[in-house]
Amino acid sequence: MLDLPIEDQSVLIRYFDQVRRCAVFCKLDDDEIIQEIEDHIMQEISNYSKPVTQKDIESIIKNLGEPRKWIDENELPWWRKMCWTLWRGPNDWRLAYLSILLLFFGTAIAGPFGIIASFFFSRVVLELEGTQDIHRKRWLIYPSLIIVYFAICIIVLMAIIYPLGNCVKYLLDGLFPHVGHASFLNAFSAFFFVIGFFWFVLNSLISKYPKIVRKIFRPFTDNWTPKKRLVWGFLSLLFGIISIIATIVF
């Protein structure tokens, strides 16, 4: 222990233990860090004109800051950094890590409820941050967002396409009875029709109700511009044409 003119060095010992615990799995040498802390304390008390007391040592330690501050987070393995963030924050990163953990472990335990819980955490992170700092967290929050948005799109489309699909099938069977049983060809046409219709519906919705759609599908629609409407419209038309050609040619 240090050669200090105080009897009770328990505060110091506790501080060193906490620093060593923070340095576990860190690339830095904890002995080197402890040596620096000891050197700092000895230099500090060498400037004292009056006898050093327990309170002086506590004040020096307080000025040095939390034990965690001695460890550069970049030196920690990713899982340790994650645990550290989960334990101490900041809140936005904590929520982002919770989102991805819930997606994997929550889904394994509770099925779709895990996905829904993960989705809510991701949305909270979005609301906290806007879109400024999302880029660094995207790998943590995007998976659950994509899954839920995709599910919403499928549900909305199926609600429209299922009744329409029956009409289209009836039409195809009526117009081209000789290919009525070629399920692959029907499926091929239907596939392109569905994709084209999907882009058409999405384009229409976002053009008509841009605020609502942006609110629902954040952050993927944040950068939507009217110019992109033309691109999406073209895509839907292209798929529709392919669908028609496939139906006619075959």
Instruction: Tell me whether residue 129 or residue 239 sits nearer to another protein (CB atom).
Output: 129
- For residues 108 and 67, the answer to whether their CB atoms sit within 8 Å is no
d(CA 7, CA 28): 31
- State the minimum distance, in angstroms, from the CB of residue 7 to another protein: 21
Nearer to another protein, 17 or 72 (CB): 72
Q: Which residues bind another protein (CB under 8 A)?
A: 28, 33, 35-40, 42-44, 46, 63-66, 69-72, 74-75
| Distances, alpha carbon 217 to alpha carbons 88, 196, 222, in Å | 30, 20, 8
R_g of the chain computed on alpha carbons:
31
Q: Which residues contact 139 (CB under 8 A, 6 or more apart)?
A: 100
Residue among 68 and 123 whose Cβ is closer to another protein: 68
**Which is nearer to another protein, 66 or 101 (by Cβ)?**
66
CB of 41 to another protein, least distance (A): 10
Q: Among 101, 137, 95, 123, which residue's Cα sits nearest to residue 217?
A: 123
For the CB of residue 238, give the shortest distance to another protein in the complex, in Å.
45
Residue 216 CB, nearest approach to another protein (Å)? 24
